[in-house]
Amino acid sequence: MKSTEAKTNTIGVDVPREDLKKRIELIEEAYEFMLGYAAQGLPGDREARSGAQLRDYLGRCDTALTGLADLCSRLLLEENDYSADRPPAFTSVLERDARDAQAAIQLVLAQPSISSQLIDNLNASIHVRALLTDLFLIAEILKT
């Protein structure tokens, strides 16, 4: 059943929606930065000023992915005709894709040096692409 009242904070901002919007922005910003980084042809991030920025973007993306599926599920339950005992099946797809993309990002972050080629491979990862597509779908659904 659809909720008729949005949950808002004291300034009238829809908190879960703003949280989701911010998370999506962080993930998209990281992806865009990674595209530019991959194009630089760098042998490793230690030699490049952009290396620290890369690690910062990846770290913020990693943080944004934690709990993302739960947040989306909550919004879908509040705003669509789903019940808590039967949430949208897509939630499990998003959870898996976010977890898989997060694992790939964490693997890259654990490397002592991150080359442009490594980031190019991360960008091409089906896990990252699936996550981005999931987010585009969720954002479009929650727009209405």
Q: What is the pLDDT of residues 121-138, one digit of tens each?
A: 999 999 999 999 999 999
CATH 3.30.1240 fits 15-143, yes or no: no
Judged against a pLDDT cut of 90, whether residue 143 lies above it is answered with no
What predicted TM-score, i.e. pTM, was given to this entire model?
Answer: 0.83
Strand ranges, E, within 19-134: none
DSSP state of 24: H
Q: Could you read off the pLDDT of 80-108 as tens digits, one per residue?
A: 766 666 667 888 999 999 999 999 999 99
What span, in angstroms and rounded, lies between the C-alpha atoms of 14 and 19? 9
Q: Is 8 helix (H, G, I), strand (E, B) or coil?
A: strand
What span, in angstroms and rounded, lies between the C-alpha atoms of 40 and 135? 27
Of 21-30, 119-128, 135-144, minimum mean pLDDT range: 135-144
Q: What angle do CA 65, 48, 30 make, to 5 degrees?
A: 20
Domain ranges of the chain: 15-143
